[in-house]
Amino acid sequence: MDDLKHQVEQIKNQFLHKLDLAQTEVELENVRILFLSREGSIPKLMHILKELSPDDKRHFGPLLNELKKESEQKFEEKKKKLALEALNKAEMKKTNFDVTAYESKMPKGSLHPYTPVIELIEDVFISMGYKVAQGFELEDEFHNFEALNIAKNHPARDMQDTFWIDVNRLMRTHTSTVQIREMESQKLPLAILSYGRTFRNEATDASHDFVFMQVEGLLIDKNVSMGNLFATLKIMLQGIFQRDDLDIRIRPGYFPFVEPGIEVDMACPFCTSGCSVCKKTRWIEMGGAGLVHPNVLKACNIDSTEYSGFAFGFGLTRLVMLKYGINDIRLLNSGKLEFLEQF
Ligand code: PHE
């Protein structure tokens, strides 16, 4: 009978050892098959009980029963422990989620072509101490026209076909509205950059859209000159096209809110002797600029004998189209993925 006792001891130790080693569900299942299943060594040992004398049964019965009970209990404990560990591991994975390691089968996103150009312009102006200001797309007549020295029946209103919302409200036709809002509300001296959507009531084609972007700059200080304006425009264009040698050319231009007013052309960044982009002229029209008209300063309660300033308004849409060689303006707002994916 010592033999049987020894066997019980041995099986118990083997079982505990193997159970201890099991680290996965599969390994645990193997332990169950080996020791606890119908053909496993512990139930097999129980069969021997039947063949024992009543005395031995009395002695070994409890011993074997205890072995069975204890091993089943130990097995269940281990099973729970492994399940909990697996759960913790999964949770850890969730919290230590490495976004950079994520490999998606979805197409990668890309920036809208406006974004990198806007970032370049912001960098240039912020480095010169400008603040980025925002205005409203829905404006009133005062900020879009009147304060900008465009009186009610002035023919200059016809230069900008307007989407009127009601008698006083309209979709801004230019970003120059932001000049007024900033001069009204901010302390002098003032240096602001603004960009955003503008709206004109016109038919669309490859080079016209009824919504497009402008970028506007305004500097109000003492003794501001046209020289300051030229230098600023040059620095901006050189920043956008990343070229130090990019020149500008100015022509007289009429805008009621500046005096003198100029139209600004940029030397074609793509050629030296004429190409299809500059239509063989070597120059590309960029927008208007000039020294802020005293009437505009007056409308914003600024003393024009003490302060002066310059302003410019360029087609941001045009700049973006030029920079990336986009030949149809309508693509920019089309939401077409095959277009957007190129940037
Ligand atoms: N607001 C003018 C336009 O949209 C451009 C401009 C801005 C001209 C500032 C001069 C000064 O046509």
The predicted-structure confidence for 84-110, as pLDDT tens digits, reads as follows 988 888 887 777 767 776 666 777 788
**E strands present in the chain:** 131-132, 138-140, 169-171, 190-199, 211-221, 248-252, 258-267, 283-292, 308-315
Note whether 43 and 85 are same-domain residues.
Answer: yes
- The verdict on residue 109 lying in a domain is no
Note whether 19 and 151 are same-domain residues.
Answer: no
Per-residue pLDDT band for 45 (boundaries 50, 70, 90) equals: confident
Closest CA to 190 of 203, 202, 201, 181: 181
Please give the pLDDT value at position 56.
Answer: 86
- The residue range of the domain holding 64 is 2-101
Domain holding 258: CATH number? 3.30.930.10
Note whether 85 and 234 are same-domain residues.
Answer: no
Model's pTM, two decimal places?
Answer: 0.70
- The verdict on residue 158 lying in a domain is yes
**pLDDT higher than 90, residue 188:** yes
On whether the CB atoms of residues 219 and 232 are closer than 8 A, the answer is: yes
Q: For ligand 1, say whether the CB of 309 is within 6 Å of any of its atoms.
A: no
Average pLDDT, the chain: 92
| C-alpha span between 261 and 254 (Å, rounded) | 5
CA of 161 relative to ligand 1 center, distance in Å: 14
pLDDT greater at residue 3 or residue 34: 34
- The verdict on residue 269 lying in a domain is yes
| 190 SS3 class | strand
Q: For ligand 1, say whether the CB of 217 is within 6 Å of any of its atoms.
A: no
CA of 279 relative to ligand 1 center, distance in Å: 23
Measured by CA distance, the residue closest to atom 9 of ligand 1 is: 312
Q: For ligand 1, say whether the CB of 289 is within 6 Å of any of its atoms.
A: yes
Note whether 149 and 282 are same-domain residues.
Answer: yes
- The verdict on residue 121 lying in a domain is yes
Note whether 183 and 318 are same-domain residues.
Answer: yes
Q: For ligand 1, say whether the CB of 310 is within 6 Å of any of its atoms.
A: no
Note whether 19 and 164 are same-domain residues.
Answer: no
Closest CA to 11 of 34, 39, 30, 37: 34
CA of 288 relative to ligand 1 center, distance in Å: 5
Q: For ligand 1, say whether the CB of 290 is within 6 Å of any of its atoms.
A: yes
CA of 287 relative to ligand 1 center, distance in Å: 7
Domain end (from 57, 78, 101): 101
With pLDDT > 70 as the criterion, what percentage of the chain qualifies?
98
- The verdict on residue 325 lying in a domain is yes
| C-alpha span between 262 and 254 (Å, rounded) | 7
Please give the pLDDT value at position 102.
Answer: 65
Measured by CA distance, the residue closest to atom 5 of ligand 1 is: 313
Please give the pLDDT value at position 291.
Answer: 98
Note whether 139 and 278 are same-domain residues.
Answer: yes
For residues 287-293, average pLDDT: 98
Note whether 145 and 193 are same-domain residues.
Answer: yes
Determine the number of helices (DSSP H) and then strands (DSSP E) in the chain: 11, 9
Domain end (from 56, 71, 101): 101
| C-alpha span between 129 and 223 (Å, rounded) | 17
Note whether 74 and 119 are same-domain residues.
Answer: no
Number of domains in the chain: 2
- The verdict on residue 125 lying in a domain is yes
Note whether 141 and 200 are same-domain residues.
Answer: yes
On whether the CB atoms of residues 290 and 310 are closer than 8 A, the answer is: yes
Note whether 141 and 285 are same-domain residues.
Answer: yes
H/E run at residue 178: helix 176-185
CA of 258 relative to ligand 1 center, distance in Å: 9
CA of 285 relative to ligand 1 center, distance in Å: 13
Note whether 180 and 320 are same-domain residues.
Answer: yes
Domain end (from 101, 130, 146): 101
- The verdict on residue 165 lying in a domain is yes
- The best mutation among 143, 172, 174, 308 to test binding of ligand 1, ranked by most ligand atoms within 8 Å of the C-beta, falls on 174
Q: What region, left, alpha or beta, does residue 78 occupy, with left being phi > 0 and alpha being psi -120 to 50 degrees?
A: alpha
- The verdict on residue 215 lying in a domain is yes
